Amino acid sequence: MPDPSARGANPPRPPRASLRTSVVWEVLKDALDRRVKATGRDALDVLDTGGGSGSFAVPVAQLGHRVTVVDPSPNALFALERRAAEESVADRVRGVQGDVHGLFDVVERGGYDAVLCHGVLEFVDDPAEGVSNAVAALRPGGAVSLLAAGLGGAVIARALAGHFAEARQALTDPAGRWGDADPIPRRFTAEQLTELAERAGVEVGAVHGVRVFADLVPGVLVDTEPGALDALLKLEAAAAELPAFHSVATQLHVLGEKRG
């Protein structure tokens, strides 16, 4: 039997306990639970590419899993080490400097039960190669979690801010950028992200729209109206899997398994 103390008396909170990550965290946790049952092992080997300071890696380690974080930033890896120590999971979190294009210079090919690739594909030179490497790091049947910027959310945000020309530019630009000052190099539709996953050998199980409403609701309302945050979280969760809302989400999440 696993040692309950290794996982903590209480389940970990969602990463950053925020609207930005709650939907992804819940479906990721369920996916990891399914892999535990499928493999018969209580502790999985999880790879977090571009995992930064550990907003997902540390909560995953709190579930009892071993997590390797690959990130190009030494500062982010230092913050990861500190966060892991503060949460008493330093023995289950390892940070290595690198990126998804040179992934197998620093980690083992085919050595992981789950791979997270969050906030990476927007910035890499070749998203298809990035997804392919992430999937190649998995054992057969392993879970893959892709999270990337959504095109529709950016178009709506620019339009609601009164920047109509920029909204149209994002809508027509091949990379989904609204102009030279846009900090995001690339955005995706749900179809594009799903296609990248399937071409890399992923059996897609679910697609989620993330931050469908959260970025449109005034922060003061969420902060001051009693019960507003909880109600908004429930609304986001209810809308996340509905295809009608994928086209307006700020981020898109694809969850699947590596084909055997």
The 10s digit of each residue's pLDDT in 76-119 is 999 999 999 999 999 999 999 999 999 999 999 999 999 999 99
Per residue in 153-198, pLDDT (tens digit) is 999 999 999 999 999 999 999 999 999 999 999 999 999 999 999 9
- Angstrom CA distances, 219 to 19, 146, 152, 210, 213, stand at 11, 27, 21, 17, 11
CA–CA separation, 87 and 89 (whole Å): 6
**Residue 95 and residue 121 in contact, taking contact as beta carbons nearer than 8 Å:** no
3-state secondary structure of 171: helix
Q: Where are the domains of the chain?
A: 4-150+188-213+239-258
Structure tokens at 82: 């500190």
What is the model's pTM?
Answer: 0.90
Between residues 1 and 257, which one has the greater pLDDT? Answer: 257
What does the block give as tokens for 133? 């490497």
pLDDT at 2: 37
What is the sign of the dihedral through the CA atoms of 215, 168, 189 and 192?
negative
Helices 164-172 and 151-160 pack at an angle, to 10 degrees, of 170
| DSSP conformational letter for 67 | E
CB 174 within 8 A of CB 193: no
The CATH H-level superfamily of 4-150+188-213+239-258 is Vaccinia Virus protein VP39 (3.40.50.150)
Cα–Cα distance between 39 and 35 in angstroms, integer? 6
> What band does 251 get if pLDDT is binned at 50, 70 and 90?
very high
Q: Answer whether residue 15 shows pLDDT above 50.
A: no
